[in-house]
Amino acid sequence: MEFQALYKFLVDDETRNRTICDEVAQAVRDIRSPLVLTERNEHLDRLESGLSTNVPHVVALRAGMGKKQRRAEAERLAAIRPHEGRVILATGK
């Protein structure tokens, strides 16, 4: 299987994505603050969508964000109280 096709397959695998979201949401319920890394913005978007219904604060740091966007997300993250559930999603590029 070609490498790019493999990435596409993993991004599109709804069962896998649901499992990731369920495990991350459980970690948040267990009073943890997970960091989820992915290589693709498309995958980050899917995870963000899947988590936003179960986690109060989902902070997404995408590849290609400008300095102002990164600063705004950092400020939003800093404003979340310690006892509030949160997850950080980030692309590795």
For the chain, list the domains and their CATH numbers. Answer: 3-91 (3.40.50.300)
The confidence score (pLDDT) of residue 75 equals 95
Give me the torsion for CA of 38, 39, 45, 48, rounded to 10°.
10
Helix (H, G, I), strand (E, B) or coil at 57: strand
Q: What is the mean pLDDT of residues 10-25?
A: 96
The confidence score (pLDDT) of residue 3 equals 80
**pLDDT per residue as tens digits for the range 49-81:** 999 999 999 999 998 899 999 999 999 999 999
For the entire predicted model, the pTM comes to: 0.88
Token code pair at residue 93: 């590029």
* Biggest CA pair distance of the chain: 45
